[in-house]
Amino acid sequence: IMQEGDVQVMFQSRASFTAELPIPADRPVGGSIVLYVETADAKPLYERLKGKVSVLSDLHDTFYGKREFYIQDCNGYILGFASDLPAQDISGAQASP
């Protein structure tokens, strides 16, 4: 279980997941979904997670005023974590691709 403030996200192994839910063992887990989670401050969360999970996109500032990063969980799902940029940092964020 990962917690940031009042938000908790639980990750399960495939064995644990299939033991609890009636899905066929040969059915793929994971998919084409991205979960985007906003947090008060993405930077300390990124610092805690890097080196422990598969980071797909390092912490970066966006043109739309977010500081974000993306990881892939043990089941192949992609999770993005973001926080609002402080007002003084928005003008220096990267341009739109």
Domain assignment present for 59: yes
6-54 residue pLDDT tens: 877 777 777 777 776 666 667 676 666 778 999 999 999 999 999 999 9
Domain that holds residue 94: 31-97
Domain assignment present for 6: no
The total domain count for the chain is 1
Domain assignment present for 38: yes
pTM: 0.67
Domain assignment present for 19: no
Greater pLDDT, 74 or 66: 66
Domain assignment present for 2: no
Domain assignment present for 13: no
Buried b (16+ CB within 10 A) or exposed e, 6-40: eeeeeeeeeeeeeeeeeeeeeeeeeeeeeeeeebe
We report the CATH number of the domain holding residue 54 as: 3.30.720.110
Domain assignment present for 16: no
**pLDDT greater than 70 at residue 90:** no
